[in-house]
């Protein structure tokens, strides 16, 4: 099969969160048996020294009836060809610093990226079994392929759309589509009607036109068919229910491997006994306490890592740390927020607690530190309001760090509560309501369990579980195959 992924993120070239990890992990697994490539925007922050690039193609692509140069560069990640679309500096789209700007301009950037991508695929003129799109940034390609570029409809056998997060929909104005000369008779595909107003979103284009819609966990697939989690797309999603199939994300077990992780001082592996694993983790905890200036000693350590946005419930993350301190345990939070007010509030907490013996708030993006935290900590707090899949709890499990999660979306599919699950399967603690009391009671149960035997069975079950991309990739292949005429 010839599978082409189009995404805004792919680690290590461009990553903000789980999307970047997922695209890398899935394509790496699929490429073991199939021809796979990835198309991304060429962000100016991608280092050409670290990732040598070759110019593949050059053409012009219009916006507002003005022609602009587009150049396609190629590089390789895990031996997978990655094609980077460079838009003209005159448009100043991907030349700016960040992956997402968080402004209206993001719509213009990714709309034009989709158009340039379609024009590139036409010129490349290769048959494609599956065009696999990810999230709103690439959603416009589904209607472009199905409705606009008829020559692509012939080249591309099927379009699959992965929903990593329905909450980001790509709201736009009809004028934005006119700017890229999208035929406006089809604009109703993007329109959501409300009683007194209507609005347009790019994600609707893919939800309507993709052959298959894949939310990133079975739990989330069910949830988005309910009003509470459908983000305003309930009637459309109900219409397309037969095309929806949840597939759980995995993690790249080579990249997230406590046996070889170059950033952690004491390695361990699932081949060792749980006592050996806990001993190595204890030494990692001592190293982390020393690095962060926390009180030295065998205190239970709770951590939380993630974007500080409403989805992750930063308020409860913070509450969890204070509760840990109150219980004589320790807590470390690592996270950044795109929302200025939240980033400021957490920076303030960071200042207030910079010499606290029990807790630390760290407001930066620091992957090596995150790895040291997973390897050192006993418990991982993830009190999300909603969670399409969540990778951090999977990484935590692999690093022997027991997740304490709100039972929602992908967290429900991957974390099995010690009280409610048979001992052979239990790997963490969960709670249902998004309240501090519920989180604290789960933390209390975790601490009781820790006092008895350091939660040995949970650590063992978690670390031995297979959360690799092997099963998810097989599930995706079954989806791809269902479209191919054999």
From candidates 9, 10, 18, 41, binder to ligand ADP by CB under 6 A: 18
Closer by beta carbon to ligand ADP, 123 or else 260 = 260
- Least gap, CB of 179 to ligand ADP (angstroms): 30
Q: Which residues contact 304 (CB under 8 A, 6 or more apart)?
A: 317, 320, 321, 331, 332, 333, 334, 335, 380, 381, 382
**Closest-approach residue to ligand ADP (CB):** 18
From candidates 41, 258, 300, 306, binder to ligand ADP by CB under 6 A: 306
Closest to 415 in 3D by CA, of 163, 165, 217, 167: 217
Closer by beta carbon to ligand ADP, 148 or else 339 = 339
- Least gap, CB of 96 to ligand ADP (angstroms): 21
- Least gap, CB of 162 to ligand ADP (angstroms): 12
x-or-dash string of contact with ligand ADP, 388-427, rule CB under 6 A = --xxx--x--------------------------------
The stretch near ligand ADP (CB under 6 A) out of 37-45, 199-207, 239-247, 366-374 is 366-374
The reply to whether 25 sits near ligand ADP by the rule CB under 6 A is: no
The reply to whether 334 sits near ligand ADP by the rule CB under 6 A is: yes
From candidates 75, 217, 336, 342, binder to ligand ADP by CB under 6 A: 336
Q: Which residues contact 448 (CB under 8 A, 6 or more apart)?
A: none
The reply to whether 219 sits near ligand ADP by the rule CB under 6 A is: no
The reply to whether 372 sits near ligand ADP by the rule CB under 6 A is: no
What span, in angstroms and rounded, lies between the C-alpha atoms of 463 and 450? 17
The reply to whether 305 sits near ligand ADP by the rule CB under 6 A is: yes
From candidates 365, 448, 470, 474, binder to ligand ADP by CB under 6 A: 365
- Least gap, CB of 176 to ligand ADP (angstroms): 26
Q: Which value, in Å, is the radius of gyration of the alpha carbons in the chain?
A: 23
State the CB neighbour count (10 A cutoff) for residue 183.
11
Closer by beta carbon to ligand ADP, 212 or else 307 = 307
Closer by beta carbon to ligand ADP, 324 or else 373 = 373
From candidates 115, 212, 307, 319, binder to ligand ADP by CB under 6 A: 307
From candidates 17, 250, 400, 472, binder to ligand ADP by CB under 6 A: 17
State the CB neighbour count (10 A cutoff) for residue 236.
15
Closer by beta carbon to ligand ADP, 158 or else 372 = 372
Residues of this chain that interact with ligand ADP (CB under 6 A) are 17-19, 21, 305-307, 334-336, 365-367, 370, 390-392, 395
């Amino acid at each position: 099969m010839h599978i082409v992924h189009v995404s805004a993120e792919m680690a290590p070239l461009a990553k903000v969160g789980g999307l970047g990890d997922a695209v890398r992990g899935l394509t790496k697994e699929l490429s073991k048996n199939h021809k796979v490539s990835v198309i991304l925007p060429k962000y100016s922050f991608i280092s050409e020294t670290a990732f040598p690039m070759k110019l593949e193609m050059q053409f012009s692509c219009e916006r507002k009836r003005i022609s602009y140069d587009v150049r396609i560069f190629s590089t390789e990640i895990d031996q997978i060809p990655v094609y980077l679309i460079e838009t003209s500096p005159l448009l100043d789209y991907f030349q700016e610093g960040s992956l997402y700007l968080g402004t209206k301009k993001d719509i213009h950037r990714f709309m034009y990226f989709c158009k340039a991508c379609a024009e590139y695929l036409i010129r490349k003129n290769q048959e494609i079994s599956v065009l696999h799109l990810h999230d709103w940034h690439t959603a416009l390609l589904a209607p472009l392929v199905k409705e606009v570029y008829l020559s692509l409809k012939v080249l591309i056998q099927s379009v699959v759309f992965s929903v990593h997060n329905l909450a980001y929909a790509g709201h736009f104005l009809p004028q934005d589509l006119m700017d890229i000369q999208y035929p406006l008779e089809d604009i109703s595909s993007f329109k959501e009607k409300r009683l007194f107003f209507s609005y347009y979103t790019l994600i609707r284009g893919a939800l309507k036109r993709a052959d298959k819609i894949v939310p990133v966990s079975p739990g989330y697939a069910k949830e988005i068919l309910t009003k509470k989690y459908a983000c305003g797309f309930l009637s459309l999603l109900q219409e397309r229910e037969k095309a929806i199939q949840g597939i759980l994300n995995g993690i790249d077990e080579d990249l997230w491997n406590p046996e070889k992780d170059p950033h952690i001082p004491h390695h361990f592996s699932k081949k060792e006994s749980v006592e050996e694993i806990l001993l190595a983790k204890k030494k990692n905890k001592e190293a982390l306490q020393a690095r962060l200036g926390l009180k030295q000693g065998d205190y239970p350590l709770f951590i939380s890592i993630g974007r500080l946005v409403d989805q992750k419930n930063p308020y409860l993350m913070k509450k969890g740390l204070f509760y840990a301190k109150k219980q004589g345990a320790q807590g470390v939070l690592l996270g950044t927020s795109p929302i200025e007010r939240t980033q400021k509030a957490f920076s303030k907490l960071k200042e207030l607690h910079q010499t606290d013996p029990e807790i630390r708030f760290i407001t930066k993006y620091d992957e090596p530190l995150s790895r040291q935290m997973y390897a050192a900590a006993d418990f991982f707090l993830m009190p999300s309001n909603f969670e399409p899949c969540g990778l951090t709890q999977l990484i935590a499990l692999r690093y022997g760090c027991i997740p304490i999660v709100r039972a929602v979306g992908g967290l429900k599919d991957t974390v099995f509560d010690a009280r409610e699950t048979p001992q052979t399967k239990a790997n963490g603690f969960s709670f249902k309501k998004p309240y501090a009391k519920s989180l604290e009671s789960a933390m209390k149960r975790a601490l009781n369990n820790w006092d008895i035997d350091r939660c040995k069975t949970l650590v063992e079950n978690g670390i031995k579980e297979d959360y690799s991309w092997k099963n998810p990739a097989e599930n995706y292949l079954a989806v791809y195959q269902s479209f191919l005429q054999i």
